[in-house]
């Protein structure tokens, strides 16, 4: 359970914008200090190719013929003559940034400590385009266009017989990475900061 907590905390990333935005200060809710968890390896068995499979083939070529057929060059199209829509700008208050808990670095007793800080929501007046009258349109149809083409078609497919020699493998042991080394945030208790 404690290992999952460290793994989840290690996934936490602090954007430069967030670190800058909380620099003005706030109430520290919890503080953490970096620690390193070493990588974990294990030995696994793996099959490796010693000699690749080989084969030879006897083949009779395919037989083709030519035929003509009617093909669609351009499908039926519908175009429209349009009258543009009419819009109006309306203004309203929207939340630009919700209330949040951010992170900031603080120097406490000569130690660089990461602290959780609470920030209020931010609102802003924005304009929005609202449809007053929708666009109108009239359909104009253009018929499909066809052509006759001569094409090569398969009468009898090629036949072949393949004689294969199976590949030769052997089993080897190798080290694989189970969990990479990672940096985690360890909670610390210092003056002015709790967890």
Is a pLDDT exceeding 60 seen at residue 20? no
Longest dimension (CA), the chain: 90
List the single range of 1-15, 89-103, 111-125 with lowest mean pLDDT: 1-15
* Whether 184 contacts 22, CB under 8 Å: no
Name beta bridge partners: 136: 83
Q: What is the pTM of this model?
A: 0.27
> What is the rounded end-to-end Cα distance, in angstroms, of the chain?
17
pLDDT at 140: 86
Name beta bridge partners: 150: 68
| Helix, strand, coil content of the chain in percent (nearest 5) | 10, 70, 25
Torsion of CA 188, 190, 192, 195, to 10 degrees: 30
Query: Cα separation of 175 and 191, whole Å?
Result: 45
pLDDT at 25: 60
Residue of 16 and 118 predicted with greater confidence: 118
pLDDT at 182: 92
pLDDT, mean of residues 61-88 = 89
Q: Where are the alpha helices (DSSP H) in the chain?
A: 2-10, 16-21
* Whether 134 contacts 85, CB under 8 Å: yes
Is a pLDDT exceeding 60 seen at residue 10? no
Is a pLDDT exceeding 50 seen at residue 50? yes
Q: What proportion of the chain, given as a percentage, has pLDDT over 90?
A: 14
């Amino acid at each position: 359970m404690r290992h999952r907590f460290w793994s989840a905390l290690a996934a936490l990333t602090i954007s430069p914008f967030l670190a800058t935005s909380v620099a003005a200060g706030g109430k520290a809710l919890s503080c953490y200090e970096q620690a390193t968890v070493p990588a974990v390896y294990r030995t696994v068995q793996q099959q490796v190719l010693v000699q690749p499979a080989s084969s030879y083939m006897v083949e009779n070529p395919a037989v083709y013929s030519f035929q003509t057929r009617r093909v669609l060059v351009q499908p039926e199209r519908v175009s429209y003559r349009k009258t543009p829509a009419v819009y109006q700008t309306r203004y309203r208050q929207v939340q630009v940034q919700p209330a949040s808990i951010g992170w900031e670095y603080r120097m406490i007793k000569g130690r660089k400590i990461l602290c959780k800080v609470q920030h209020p929501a931010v609102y802003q007046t924005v304009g929005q385009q609202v449809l007053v009258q929708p666009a109108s349109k009239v359909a104009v149809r253009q018929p499909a266009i066809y052509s006759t083409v001569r094409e090569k078609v398969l009468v009898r497919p090629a036949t072949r017989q393949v004689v294969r020699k199976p590949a030769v493998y052997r089993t080897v042991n190798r080290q694989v990475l189970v969990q990479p080394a990672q940096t985690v945030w360890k909670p610390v208790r210092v003056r002015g900061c709790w967890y």
